[in-house]
Amino acid sequence: MKRIGITGGIGSGKSVVAQLLQTFGVPVYIADEESKRLTDSSPVIREGLSSLFGSAIYTPRGLDKKRLAAAIFGDRTQLERVNRLIHPVVQADFEAWCGRQSVPLCALESAILFESGFEHLVDVRLMVYAPLDVRLHRAAERDHAPREAILRRIQSQMPDEEKRRLSDYTILNDGRSALIPQVERFLLAYA
């Protein structure tokens, strides 16, 4: 089975492209959603986070995301520890998910495809690119967040130019270029 890795910056439209691929019959593993599920369900992650931050990091409802965010915000060492704990569990879950698929092509959507090392799990790296002003507008509408907060999140991620350089294919999602023909061309070239 061939595996596609979908990546792009905040507000680039990764999810839209993932939905289009699903429409074309390509199952997509959404790493962000699955990692949230796994932080609540994986005993390995629960024990690791509790060891790092104390048992209060979990409430009866699950992971206290605000407490975790406060603990790792601006602390690169803590962030790296959390990533070293979560990423291998997500990778193993993705591998198991792939094993349950019975199609010739599947995909992994991850904003941090390269930063997490997930690019080694896929055969083709697809970047969804949008200009910064478009990304800011989309993210502000979606997240109801101030422009400055979105800019800080964008600046904390790998620059788009670097993601583009590391990717095999780029889809332009600027709000003017039609996406479906671009996805079709990508599938013809890489499926």
The answer to the question of residue 96 being in a domain is no
Q: Tell me the pLDDT band of 188, cut-offs 50, 70 and 90.
A: very high
Which among 179, 72, 63 is positioned nearest to 129, based on CA atoms? 179
Q: Which residues of 159-172 are buried (b: 16+ CB within 10 A; e: fewer)?
A: ebeebeeebebbbb
d(CA 82, CA 125): 25
The answer to the question of residue 93 being in a domain is no
The answer to the question of residue 86 being in a domain is no
Q: Residue 6's CB: how many other CB atoms inside 10 A?
A: 29
The answer to the question of residue 57 being in a domain is no
Q: Which domain holds residue 149?
A: 2-27+101-190
Number of domains the chain contains? 1
The proportion of the chain whose per-residue pLDDT surpasses 70, expressed as a percent, equals 100
Q: Residue 58's CB: how many other CB atoms inside 10 A?
A: 18
Q: Which of 153 and 187 is assigned the larger pLDDT?
A: 187
The answer to the question of residue 55 being in a domain is no
The answer to the question of residue 52 being in a domain is no
The answer to the question of residue 108 being in a domain is yes
Residue 74 has pLDDT above 80, yes or no: no
Paired strand residues for 4: 107, 124
Q: Where on the phi/psi map is residue 30: left (φ > 0), alpha (ψ -120 to 50), or beta?
A: beta
**Per-residue pLDDT tens for 172-183?**
999 999 999 999
Q: What is the pLDDT of residue 149?
A: 83
Mean pLDDT across the stretch 87-99? 97
Residue 168's CATH number: 3.40.50.300
**Per-residue pLDDT tens for 134-172?**
998 998 888 888 888 888 888 878 999 999 999 999 999
